[in-house]
Amino acid sequence: MPRPGHSETDHPRDAAMSHGVLAVGFAVATGFVASYLPWPWVFDIHSPDFNPMVALPLLSAGVTALETVRAVRAELRHRRFGAATLDLEGSGRLRLGQRVGGVVRTARPLAPTGPYRIRLRCVDTHEFRDTSENATSPRRNSDFVVWEREQECPAEAVDSTRGIPFAFRLPNSVGPAPQPPIRPTRSPYFSFKAAIMILGLRRVWSSNDPPVARRWLLEVSAPMQGTDFEARFLLPVDPD
């Protein structure tokens, strides 16, 4: 096992609690909004009694169901697999262009039905002006995958409790370093701002618009009988 220089633990129960809180919150919102709508609800848009607000409790109920499913799945992963720990080689923060390697250890031995998949992604967050009618804020954030690599590890070749090995070479550059969002001014020289995801490519074309945040995500997964194994970690990579 490599000498760990950075260690991080993924706790599925933390995710289960987060999704559970969201599910409860949206359930309360669903009941609150529904209590203020006159019954029976009319869904015929041509009817004079139609109220477009009836869509809100339905959407909220859908989000409640989705977050409930996510909470249950995370809790099942916790009970079956426990926590997973990432141990990186070397010491200190990672820099672009260097090799990153290490292992991911599980609390309990796994018996996957297929190979382990290890994926490393760089995700940039860009800020946009939100011009939609239902916008609650003048700006919104959108994530874009700007770099991605994936590898497989045969399940029969490793003991997951001792470590699932991986090694990647970070790119030399993934674009401008993240900067805090700069609010637009009335100056004509700094008013242009654009960020476009080009379909079919893994990069964002941008002009005068560096990302406001950047994350390097390491994801490990494996097919299992019943609930699949999943773990996600944030890597400490310097932005430049």
Tens of pLDDT, residues 200-232: 444 555 555 788 899 999 999 999 988 899 999
Indicate which CATH number applies to the domain containing 162. Answer: 2.60.40.640
Q: How confident is the model at residue 179 (pLDDT cuts 50, 70, 90)?
A: confident
The residue segments making up the domain with residue 163 are 83-240
Q: Tell me if 6 is assigned to some domain.
A: no
Say whether 221 sits in a helix, a strand or coil.
strand
- Which value, to the nearest 10 degrees, does the dihedral of the CA atoms of residues 127, 133, 137, 138 take? 60
Strands 4-10 and 164-169: unpaired
Residue 185: what pLDDT? 53
Q: Tell me if 133 is assigned to some domain.
A: yes
Residue 1: what pLDDT? 45
Give the separation between CA 59 and CA 87, rounded to whole angstroms: 41
Residue 144 shares a structural domain with residue 221: yes
Q: How confident is the model at residue 176 (pLDDT cuts 50, 70, 90)?
A: confident
Q: How confident is the model at residue 131 (pLDDT cuts 50, 70, 90)?
A: low
Of 65, 81, 97, the domain-final residue? 81
Distance, first Cα to last Cα, the chain? 29
Residue 235 shares a structural domain with residue 185: yes
Question: Which residues, including other chains, have CB under 8 Å from residue 49's CB and lie 6 or more apart?
Answer: 42
Residue 23 shares a structural domain with residue 62: yes
Average pLDDT for residues 141-157, to the nearest whole number?
91
Per-residue pLDDT of 47-85, as tens digits, reads: 887 888 888 888 999 999 999 998 998 888 888 888 899
Average pLDDT for residues 152-173, to the nearest whole number?
93
Average pLDDT for residues 112-128, to the nearest whole number?
92
Give the separation between CA 49 and CA 220, rounded to whole angstroms: 52
Residue 165: what pLDDT? 95
Residue 140 shares a structural domain with residue 222: yes
Residue 199: what pLDDT? 47
Residue 87 shares a structural domain with residue 76: no
Residue 48 shares a structural domain with residue 152: no
How much is the pTM? Answer: 0.70
Say whether 92 sits in a helix, a strand or coil.
coil
Give the separation between CA 102 and CA 87, rounded to whole angstroms: 6
Give the separation between CA 150 and CA 202, rounded to whole angstroms: 14
Contact (Cβ atoms closer than 8 angstroms) between residue 105 and residue 211: no
Give the separation between CA 3 and CA 88, rounded to whole angstroms: 8
Say whether 58 sits in a helix, a strand or coil.
helix
